[in-house]
Amino acid sequence: MYKTLKIGDKAVNRLGFGAMRITGQGIWGEPKDHDAAIAVLKRAVELGANFIDTADAYGPEVSENLIREALHPYDGLVIATKGGLTRSGPGRWHPDGSPEHIREACEASLKRLGVEQIELYQFHRPDPAVPFADSVKAFFELQGQGKVKHVGLSNVSTDQLERAMELGTVVSVQNNYSVLNREHEAVLELCAANGIAFIPYFPIGGNTDGLSEQMLESIAEKHGATARQVGLAWLLQHSPVMLPIPGTGSLDHLEENMQAANVRLDAEDIAQLDRLAD
């Protein structure tokens, strides 16, 4: 259905699903409607999303548990999770990049997901209290033990990515990025140069009103699409290593997001949207 890219040795469709918003408000606790969350996960796969992104911190634990309930044994799917953040309440996130925590977090995610090996394990966020190399080495040690197949990073700079690449093979980077937020363009370029998948989180601006620029609305009208779809279509056309993971707890928004693969922006559209970065 969609063009693919590789996560390590496995090809995945270039529109994945981010499973952060299937939890409760503030990414905390159980979803308001458990059955609806399960339905969204199953429908995402039906629509072609074979890359599902989550983290132990989403809930915490809730997202991983829901994914297992809805999708295990994950036939044909890549389930990517993360470690390195802890929670103390709705909207409250705390980095913990200590090797001890990363090892414990990995073990817990393996059990929750019901797998012997995590397909893609990502360092959620560098911890200023822990040397970056110490944290990253813990991920590669888990890979060496067979508990992790591939290692990815999240919320990193170009310098941090280059340092991690000296320690082992990095197959993905997940940073905040969208048509309206190109702060990490240099990281994307480094990923493209090295064949590393770039996974933009908040690919449609971080909320349902994120992509509300008048230019986006105008281009959307031209294509009979929505601003959300235009934002996702731009990501797909901007770089061949781009793997957007729009997340939602709504079936309607899910259907809308996945249709973005059918929107083809022309050169004039791209030029207009690129001016947003000037």
User: Residues with catalytic annotation?
Assistant: 58
Distance of alpha carbon 14 from alpha carbon 214, whole angstroms: 27
Distance of alpha carbon 7 from alpha carbon 258, whole angstroms: 20
Peptide bond into 73 cis (omega under 30): yes
Length of the chain: 278
What 3-state class would DSSP assign to 241?
coil
Contact present, 205 and 199 (Cβ < 8 Å) = no
* Cα torsion 185, 186, 192, 195: sign: negative
What 3-state class would DSSP assign to 240?
coil
Q: What DSSP line would sit under 111-175, residue for residue? A: HHHT-SSEEEEEE-S--TTS-HHHHHHHHHHHHHTTSEEEEEEES--HHHHHHHHHHS-EEEEEE
Interacting residues of 117 by C-beta distance below 8 A, sequence separation 6+: 110, 146, 147, 148, 149
Distance of alpha carbon 130 from alpha carbon 225, whole angstroms: 45
| CA-angle at 54, arms to 170 and 240, nearest 5° | 50
